[in-house]
Structure 1
Amino acid sequence: MLRGKLYDLALLVISCVFGLFPAVSQAALFKVLVVMSYHEDFYWSKDIKEGIDRALRDKCDITYFYMDTKNHFEKGEEKALEAYKLYQKMRPRGVIASDDNAQSMFVVPYLKNKVSTPIIFCGVNEAPEKYGYPASNVTGVLERSHLIESLSFLKQLVPSVKSIGFMMKDNPTSRAFLKYFNSKSDSYPVEKSEFELPGTLQEAISVAKDFKTRYDALFIDNMGGLPDENGTPLTPEVIIPKLLKLYNKPTLCANMKPVKLGVLCAIIKVTQEQGILAGEMLLKAMEGTRLSQLPIIQNHKGKAVINVTTMKALGIRPAPMALQQVELIKTEE
């Protein structure tokens, strides 16, 4: 009888302890700061966040900071300073910095080789050497498009395509993509190509009209934030359908969102992969793996997608083989 009472008392004590301290298990979570180059509602930011959350949510308390440089590049350095002040206040166990602007404006000036906190980058289009990566406390994930694969896929759908024009908004990401474009040009399955970086919507409209007369197909991506005649940054939902209507010929891109907006096809990057890989690397670093044992890597996953609304509108009838293992989607309303 006495043993039973002692057992019941022990259970009561244990219950009281856990009742008084319900968050004890949470104390073991790693504090992580994620600095995003772009804004919270941007599809790319959402997808990378989804990947990071998937990799870290069970072991980390994650705080997100958005620099909004796609819409307001001129305020990027000011936002980077805000991010650094947040870093100082939080004292996180680890940091993820997404896309190029977060590297040049935040990591390099404030954190690289200056703190012991492990920093993992993702979504970086530039060569890592531009930022001095890898560094003593920095490694991460490069972003590379499946460009040659996308061009070959387009040729499967529309064999008559022999020339292509490329158009992306003028910003650091697009300029880095242009370097990648030039480095691969000898491998393109097209006879000629040209790359333009418009800085305004009106310039983009002029490029679309010009390319329509000279090229069989158009590559269009990374157009979000392009300003109108009043200087107001516009969303991809406004820009891309307008340009596609003007061009009205086969198109391709590198990401899912433009396909949903009416671009014909792509071998798209799986954006969440950037966040998952960065999260996995950071978790290893926070658990004790040296960054020297975590070399810089790049994304590899790709997925073939076709916008069937656009395909039908252009009268394209691909061979059945071209539609195998392809995701078919309709234009967003």
Structure 2
Amino acid sequence: MHRFTCITIIFTPLILCCLALSPPPTTSETRPKVLLLHSYHTSNPWDMSVEQGVLDALADEYYIPDENLAFESFYMDTKRRTSREWKEDAGKMAREAIGRLRPAVVIALDDNCQEYVVRRMNTSGCAFVFAGVNRDPEEYGIITNRENPGGNITGALERERFPESLAFMRRIVPGIKRLAIISDASPTGAPVVQRIKALAPTHGVTVVDSLETDDFTAWKDFVTKIQTRADALAVVVYHTVKDDNGTHVPADKVLAWTTSHSKLPDMGFWPWAVSQGLLCSDAISGYDQGYYVGTITSYILGGQSPGDFPVSAPRTGQPCINQARADELGLAIPAHLTKTAKLFPAMTARSPVSSPPD
């Protein structure tokens, strides 16, 4: 018999002052339910930013948790627990929760939710809105037409801003022509690496080498050998890496080692990666992803069909710079960039009290 980590269902209240504009009060039995289904865990920065965007969008449409809306979150914890067996069991528990709660809408975040939940319930009649999906949703068999999805599923794609991030880095480090790419071997990383490789030649950069691995020893070997072969390093995701004993290595430890042993300018694609220690990014906004799907969810609660909404990829970027990393690399940040970018003063992955757990 296997023992599994408890997956917590959380009820989150959000208080607004504009009660006079809200729909009429409802009882707990009649108010609609929204379930926010997370592939990952409560302290993951991406999940926290997406959830805040969802809640703000719902509030702007006068859907207030604990007043006229039942809002719950379910965490599958598949970024730290990466075995196929765990993902299958977490998916089964999520599907059972959906059957028990009978939500009006399920917002399903990231790729593992699509693989282990949505694709297995796509004929159930339940309304699904996905977000943070890195692979093409057609691969999961959940839609066939992005412009006119029809049926009970729609959502938002998560697309890294590689051309924008490269252009932003070149404003700090001109002349980058050779790029190395490293990522863990998670479902998030693989499609990002593929897209970067496809786009790189059209932006004047050659990908000299790349690695997708969950082996920390192989990760270290790659970072070490690439130092003289590349002008810059793209670090995609680093959350499913394990040591030689098969023990999960916390993400901040992976990044702390990487930045401590690499002298290459490095780019990421999310604000939390720059906060933890990468040099820069024109980053994806999890909040904007959440706000977009939260708005769609409010329309579905109002009676519209999910299939009426085309699948989209919110493209708003957030320029980010880690000042401590720039100082360490001996790079001067142009003054005009410091006025427009979000500046992180420290590399939190190396701090005694690290950033939120991976």
Structure 2 length-normalised TM: 0.82
Match runs of 1:1-333 below 5 Å: 24=26, 26=28, 28-56=30-58, 58=64, 59-74=68-83, 75-109=86-120, 111-112=121-122, 114-132=123-141, 133=143, 134=149, 136-331=151-346, 332=348, 333=351
Q: Which moved more, 1:192-201 or 1:211-220?
A: 192-201
Kindly indicate whether the alpha-carbon contact (under 8 Å) linking 2:152 and 2:305 is maintained by their aligned counterparts in 1.
no
Q: Aligned partners of 1:60, 1:235: CA distance in 2, in Å?
A: 36
Q: Aligned partners of 1:253, 1:78: CA distance in 2, in Å?
A: 31
Gapped runs of 5+ residues in structure 1? 1-22
Kindly indicate whether the alpha-carbon contact (under 8 Å) linking 1:259 and 1:265 is maintained by their aligned counterparts in 2.
yes
Richer in helix (by share): 1
Pair 1:177–1:45, CA change in 2 (3 A)? same
Q: Which moved more, 1:82-91 or 1:28-37?
A: 28-37
Deviations 1:98-125 (A, max 9, x none): 001100111101x11x222210000001
Q: Aligned partners of 2:151, 2:261: CA distance in 1, in Å?
A: 49
AA partner of residue 91 (structure 1): R
SS in 2 for 1:202: helix
Q: Aligned partners of 2:208, 2:337: CA distance in 1, in Å?
A: 23
Kindly indicate whether the alpha-carbon contact (under 8 Å) linking 1:151 and 1:189 is maintained by their aligned counterparts in 2.
no
- How much does 1:203 deviate? 1.2
Q: Aligned partners of 1:253, 1:304: CA distance in 2, in Å?
A: 11
Q: Aligned partners of 2:36, 2:26: CA distance in 1, in Å?
A: 24
Aligned residues: 309
AA partner of residue 55 (structure 2): D
Deviations 1:242-291 (A, max 9, x none): 11111122111001112111111110111111111111111111211122
Q: Which moved more, 1:185-194 or 1:269-278?
A: 185-194
- How much does 1:24 deviate? 4.7
SS in 2 for 1:184: helix
SS in 2 for 1:244: helix
AA partner of residue 340 (structure 2): Q
Q: Aligned partners of 1:175, 1:90: CA distance in 2, in Å?
A: 33
Kindly indicate whether the alpha-carbon contact (under 8 Å) linking 2:153 and 2:307 is maintained by their aligned counterparts in 1.
no
Q: Which moved more, 1:311-320 or 1:269-278?
A: 311-320
Q: Aligned partners of 1:282, 1:184: CA distance in 2, in Å?
A: 33
AA partner of residue 52 (structure 1): V
AA partner of residue 58 (structure 2): L
Q: Aligned partners of 2:104, 2:198: CA distance in 1, in Å?
A: 38
Q: Aligned partners of 2:229, 2:298: CA distance in 1, in Å?
A: 50
Deviations 1:33-83 (A, max 9, x none): 121111112111111122222223515311111111111122111111101
SS in 2 for 1:73: coil
- How much does 1:322 deviate? 4.1
- How much does 1:26 deviate? 5.0
Structure 1 length-normalised TM: 0.88
AA partner of residue 38 (structure 1): Y
Q: Aligned partners of 1:318, 1:63: CA distance in 2, in Å?
A: 43
Q: Aligned partners of 1:25, 1:70: CA distance in 2, in Å?
A: 37
Q: Aligned partners of 1:24, 1:232: CA distance in 2, in Å?
A: 48
AA partner of residue 112 (structure 2): N
SS in 1 for 2:188: helix
Q: Aligned partners of 1:210, 1:260: CA distance in 2, in Å?
A: 25
Q: Aligned partners of 2:155, 2:208: CA distance in 1, in Å?
A: 32
AA partner of residue 102 (structure 1): C
Q: Aligned partners of 2:338, 2:208: CA distance in 1, in Å?
A: 26
Q: Report the structure number with the largest CA radius of gyration.
A: 1
Q: In the alignment, which residue of structure 2 is the partner of 1:15?
A: none
Q: Aligned partners of 1:322, 1:44: CA distance in 2, in Å?
A: 24
Kindly indicate whether the alpha-carbon contact (under 8 Å) linking 1:148 and 1:187 is maintained by their aligned counterparts in 2.
no
Gapped runs of 5+ residues in structure 2? 1-24, 144-148, 352-358
Q: Aligned partners of 2:150, 2:194: CA distance in 1, in Å?
A: 23
Q: Which moved more, 1:227-236 or 1:90-99?
A: 227-236
Work out the percentage of aligned pairs sharing the same amino acid: 25
Q: Where do 4+ consecutive residues of structure 1 move more than 6 Å?
A: none
